[in-house]
Structure formats: C-alpha cells, structure tokens
Amino acid sequence: MVSMVSSSKVILFALAIIAFCVSPSLSFSRRALNEHKNVKTTGFRVSLKHVDSGKNLTLFQRIKRGMKRGQYRLQRLNVMSFAASDSQIEAPIQAGNGEFLMELSIGTPPQSYKAILDTGSDLIWTQCKPCTDCYDQPSPIFDPKNSSSFIKISCSDSLCEALPQSICKDGCEYLYTYGDYSSTQGIMGFETFTFGKVSVPKIGFGCGEDNEGSGFGEGAGLVGLGRGALSLVSQLKEPTFSYCLTSIDDQKTSTLLMGSLASVNSASKNAIITTPLIKNPIQPSFYYLSLEGISVGGTRLPIKKSTFSLQDDGSGGLIIDSGTTITYLEESAFELVKKAFISKTKLPLDNSGSTGLDLCFTLPSDSTDVEVPTLVFHFEGADLDLPSENYMVADSSTGLVCLAMGSSSGMSIFGNVQQQNILVLHDLQKETLSFLPTQCDQL
C-alpha cells in the first residue's frame, strides 16, 4: 500500500550543417585529457534547482511541462540519430537544454550565474559581451574584459581541436549546435570557475556572442556533463560524479557531487547496485546502459532481448538522462508495460487524455491510498526496484493516478522521475553506473 499525495540566419544554418557532418576525433579527447593536467580538484558539491521550481505549479502541470520539453528532446535525438545512421556519417548529436539549473561563478572577481546542467552534451558555455545575438537571461551577461583570469584558447589547443566545428581567427572561434539546430557561437577561453567554495582555474568554455534557439532562457548558459573532452567531467580529471534529484513535486534542493565527494561510504555499500556503462562511438557523449528486461507486479515481461540493444549503426539503445522528465521505452516494450499495468492495477481507466500521459486511472473518491504493482528495471548486473512514487504520479485535485512513462520509436531514455531520491553515481574510470536509494534533500 502506498500513499499518493495530492529565424535562424542563413549563414549560421549553413555552418550548423557543416558542424553536424563533422565528428570530433576520439583521439582529441585523449589528447585533451593528457594536456590539461593542471585542472585537478579533490571534489565539490553544487546545489541544483528544477527549472520549474518556484512557479506555483501542480504536480501534473510540472509533469506536463517536463514532458513537452522531453518529447521535443527525444524527437530530435531520434530524428538526428536516424539521419546519422542512414547517411553512414558519424555525427554526434548534442542534446542541449535540460531540467536542472546549477549554481556557479565565473571569472575574477567571480560573477554568479545559474547554468543548465546537461548530461547529454559536452561544451560548457555562457553568454558573453559583446553580444551580436543573445537571449534574455536572469543575470547580467558575462564580460570577459572585466575578468583578470580570462585567457583566449589558441587554435592549436586540444580543446579547440575537439570541437565539432571551429575557425581560427582571433583565437579559437567555435560553433556548437544541438539537435534542433539551436546553437552557441563565439570564442573559446580559459577561465576560473567557482563551484560552491571551490575555485578551479583554467576551465575551457565557450564565450557565446551569438546564441540562438529555444529552451536556454532559464539560465545564463549550459554546463555539459557528457563523456567528451570538452565536458566539465573530463576537464576536472575526476573520474567520478553523482547527482541526487529530489521529488519533482517539491521545492527542495537537489545536489551534484564531483570527485571525491561523489564516493559512497562503506555503510551504504550493501545497498548499492552497479551496472556497466556502454560506449556508442556514433554518440560518444551519452551514458548508455544495458537494459535486459522489465518486471511488473513480480512478472518478467516477454520483451525481446534485442529491444533495448545498441545497434551497429549507433541507433537504438537506452541512455540515462537527467534532462528528460519521464522514461521513454521502445514502443513494443512500452505496450507490454502498459498492458501489464492495466491488468494488475485494480482501478478504472481514465481515457480523457487530460494529463498528456499514456496511461491513467481514476482514484477512489474516498481514499488516496491505492495499491499499485511493483516495477523493476533489470539492468545488466543490477535489478532496480523502483519505489511507487518514481513511476506512479497522483493528483488528488484531478482524482487521477498515472504511469510516468511513454513510448519511443527509437532510442529509449531512463528519465529523471524514475531517478528521484536515488544517488546516481558515474565512475568513468571503472566504466560503471551505480544506484543507491537516498533521501536527496538530506544528502
């Protein structure tokens, strides 16, 4: 028993096409890691806030807004992935945007900003003066002329070479595009970044003077936490990081832990489960997992073993993503999950479509306590038994309880609702990802 509580310029577009068709060499990633050994820290923690925090939204309103962003994110990833495999071009796609904002400071003296955290891309960037085309942001735009620690990155630097597209003029000028052709364009520089109380010098980032596209307005830029050389993870030389996300329907603060602070204490080791991280050479930034099956109500569903497999052309597979709200499963698998929930949930179906979710039930009028079937994701070496609030969302004002999952026609995504109150630990040295049930607001 569980308790449920209530117009892009023509020139830019042309450059974007070029950027899409040129892939960064993996050797650049290795060179970047070897050359920038001065960037090293013992670890730090950063507060995260959901992009819809403080907007006085109901749970279903938050879910709806997140789904709109997530479906757009999933659609462009699948479309671009198909284009890459169809043309046999190794074309990495950067997800862009995201669901959480991280607090940081840039420059000397430090200036405070909120930036979008994105585990689906690599580049760190912020809007910079002089802006030729910048969107409105909540904080003053960064001016590198006012910082004594800003240094332009040379064209011969490995971080410049790791960019999908760069031009050598007055230093390394970059163009970085995302799946929907939103983009940031400007000059690459080194700067001191401050995370909490820890200042880290010489972080390579994009000083964006021309930034176009939807979804960036909540922050002053974006921090990529992907697996490529340009990401914060790679530049810090700390092989571990973790995040812990609080429930989507509260105002509590989530947390990002980097380096030594991301480790798990010995008392928790019995509760942690670990699965291998998989690499996709076509999409090297994403964190792929091997999902072998799903159980609903104690019954393993007859999902074909190949359903979530990563294909030779780079398509398919399942990624874990902090920037997508609900989980999206390959269509045939989702239909089996949906059928099982209908069979095992003793509540009347709601077919109004009012929530935007695929499967909803009507709650009993006299109680908010309902019995729902268990849900287990069988990852390679790790059976993740989710608490009910991580897959069934209820709203007493509407009298509905819904499955927080949807279907996909290609890539599957394990979303952030399913990751609530779980410490998600990435170990890039061991190439593993671990799950540890955690009360994230008490971390």
- Catalytic positions, written as ranges: 118, 321
Give the number of other Cβ atoms within 10 Å of residue 109's Cβ: 10
Among 179, 184, 213, residue whose Cα is nearest residue 126: 184
C-alpha 397/C-alpha 4 separation (Å) is: 12
Token pair, residue 276, equals 């291998």
Give the number of other Cβ atoms within 10 Å of residue 298's Cβ: 9
C-alpha 88/C-alpha 415 separation (Å) is: 28
> 326 with 70: CB under 8 angstroms?
yes
Q: How many residues does the chain have?
A: 443
Residue type for 286, please?
A: F
Helices (H), 36-171: 59-87, 158-161
Which helix (H) or strand (E) element contains residue 28?
helix 26-35
Report CA 396 to chain centroid distance, whole Å: 30
| Backbone CA torsion sign across 24, 36, 280, 329 | negative
| Cα-only R_g, the chain | 22
What is the DSSP secondary structure assignment for residue 380, as one 8-state letter? T
Question: Which residue reads 């480790």 in tokens?
Answer: 263
> 315 with 88: CB under 8 angstroms?
no
Residue 392 φ then ψ, to 5°: -115, 120
CB burial readout 33-58, b (16+ within 10 A) else e: eeebeebebebbbbbbbbbbbeeeee
Which helix (H) or strand (E) element contains residue 207?
strand 198-212
Q: How far is CA 245 from CA 4, 5, 352, 403, in A?
A: 19, 19, 30, 19
Give, in degrees to the nearest 5, the angle at Cα 49 between 45 and 52.
170
C-alpha 410/C-alpha 320 separation (Å) is: 15
